Amino acid sequence: MALELLFNAGLVVFFTYAYFFIGATVPKAEGPGWGAEVWPQAILIALIILLGVNMVMVYRGGGKTPEFGFGKLRQISLTSFVQGKLFLGMAALFVYAMSLQAAGFILSTFVFFVVYARIVGQKHTKTLVVSAFVATFTVYFVFSRALGVMLPRGYGILRDFAIFLEGLL
């Protein structure tokens, strides 16, 4: 318990230092909106808060940690892992990340949401397509319109399709 609390305290100190270092070294943004220093600092604040919560939980738990040894690793079946939802979700995320630049954000994200919803058990095709559509365009609006982030459009005809969809919005 003491070692875990010490490690978490060390991370809190490091993240606090990083927060102030970013604030001191990253240039302030010109004009309206948040600058480049805000997002890393927001993540660091969240990490510091969550580490504090973790430290309280460890302290209240009295150091009770589950037993885990290398013997339990031998009981894990590689076949069941590869066929499991966790592995399929990781594979879908990997394919999504690799196809994002070539296929564009809108198409890749829509297909990813459909595939991932199938993996986690969504059976109704109509609900799946509608929810994937809503989620894709919600994420698109947040990043593209609200935050001003340029999202990948894809190559060739996929780029033309993405520009057409952006023109409709």
Instruction: State how far the Cα of 50 lies from the Cα of 57, in Å rounded to an integer.
Output: 10
CA distances from 85 to 68, 109, 151 (A): 23, 19, 28
What is the tens place of the pLDDT at every residue in 138-159?
A: 988 888 877 777 888 888 888 8
Task: Kindly state the percentage of the chain with pLDDT values over 90.
Answer: 30
Instruction: Report pLDDT for 42.
Output: 87
Mean pLDDT computed over 11-40: 80
pLDDT tens column, 119-142: 988 888 899 999 999 999 898 888
